[in-house]
Copies of this chain bind each other. A is one copy, B any other.
Amino acid sequence: MQRKQIHPQGPEFSRMIAGVWKWMDEQTIEKCIHAALDCGITTFDHADIYGKYTIEELFGKVLKGNSDLRSKMELVTKCGIKLLTDNRPDHRIKHYDTSYEHIIASVDNSLQHFDTDYIDLLLIHRPDPLMNCEEVAEAFDELERSGKVLYFGVSNFTTTQFEMLQSYLSMPLVTNQVEVSLFKNDLLFNGLTDVMQVHRTGIMAWSPLGSGKFFDDTERMHHLSVLADKYKATVAQVLFAWLLQHPANVFPITGTTKPERIMEASKSLTIDLDKQDWFAMLKLVTGKDVA
């Protein structure tokens, strides 16, 4: 498994990242952690809210039971969304909170859940219209100073939201985690990945295979299967390879709960897609040649 810096001043991650948002119980978590580590996937993508605020703690229980695991992995987590859920009775509406107090409190919670001293990378989960950049900068400075968080980034930010927050910070935002895949490729063409490259900021890609509905188009899937066969690969693997080929330094996040799927994903890095095949895959989705 390739390891790569997500930003010139950022951490080194495994090029494929394991997303935990569907890992709902300890058994699944333990099984998937081992599957991931076995194939070189060492970076795990969390958020405070996954499993309605439960997965960090379950994941932490597995870490406590396996004392050598923490040192073998990088933990990414997020804060800033306040969900409407029975687990947070004071929330009357889904909203965002990127206040100094909430960021600090959320990280302290995450550290306790994981039973660890540090988070490798903390992301602001969504762009908050009420985000006070000076407050976020103070919170990040405090978390860096105390060693509680090593690196900082954002998720689902537009280019201008990214550049606004960056302009207030003393450290670089090392990633913008966004939804991008062959099937949902607008961010590759609307300026998002361009501006991230200006900042040398790598992309963490969520939903890198696209949502299931894209797999209903049987003709398109047939073409993808034929192409996958050419590379002795699966359709999922050529979809990952399509993203990995892009110059935006993309780190795909798997979403599966199945160890064999994690293993499958990890092998995508060995596929060297021909440039013409890359454009042919794009044309499958856009329906037309490039200009």
Could you list which residues of chain A lie within 8 angstroms of chain B, going by C-beta atoms? 84, 91-97, 126, 129-133, 156, 158-161, 163-164, 167, 188-189, 191, 194-195, 197-198, 245-247, 275-276, 278-280, 282-283, 289-291
Contacts known (A94-B289, A191-B159, A290-B95); A198 close to B275, Cβ less than 8 A: no
Contacts known (A160-B159, A164-B194, A194-B163); A129 close to B246, Cβ less than 8 A: yes
Smallest CB–CB gap between A129 and chain B, Å? 6
17 A-B residue pairs with CB within 8 Å: A93-B289, A95-B278, A96-B279, A96-B290, A129-B189, A129-B282, A130-B245, A130-B247, A131-B247, A132-B247, A158-B194, A160-B194, A160-B195, A161-B194, A163-B198, A164-B195, A164-B198
Chain B residues with Cβ below 8 Å from A130 are 245-247, 275, 278
CA of A132 to CA of B246, assembled, Å:
9
* Apart from the given pairs A93-B283, A95-B278, A126-B290, 7 other A-B contacts in the complex at a CB distance below 8 Å: A92-B276, A92-B280, A93-B276, A95-B290, A130-B245, A132-B247, A160-B195
Smallest CB–CB gap between A160 and chain B, Å? 4
Q: Is the pair A279, B164 in contact by a Cβ cutoff of 8 Å?
A: no
CA of A80 to CA of B50, assembled, Å:
44
CA of A5 to CA of B63, assembled, Å:
51
CA of A1 to CA of B191, assembled, Å:
38
Chain B residues with Cβ below 8 Å from A94 are 279, 289-290
Chain B residues with Cβ below 8 Å from A93 are 276, 279-280, 283, 289
| Least CB separation from A199: chain B residue | B167
Chain B residues with Cβ below 8 Å from A278 are 95, 130
Q: Is the pair A129, B188 in contact by a Cβ cutoff of 8 Å?
A: yes
CA of A86 to CA of B265, assembled, Å:
39
Chain B residues with Cβ below 8 Å from A189 are 129
The 4 closest A-B pairs by CB, nearest first: A160-B191, A160-B194, A95-B279, A164-B194
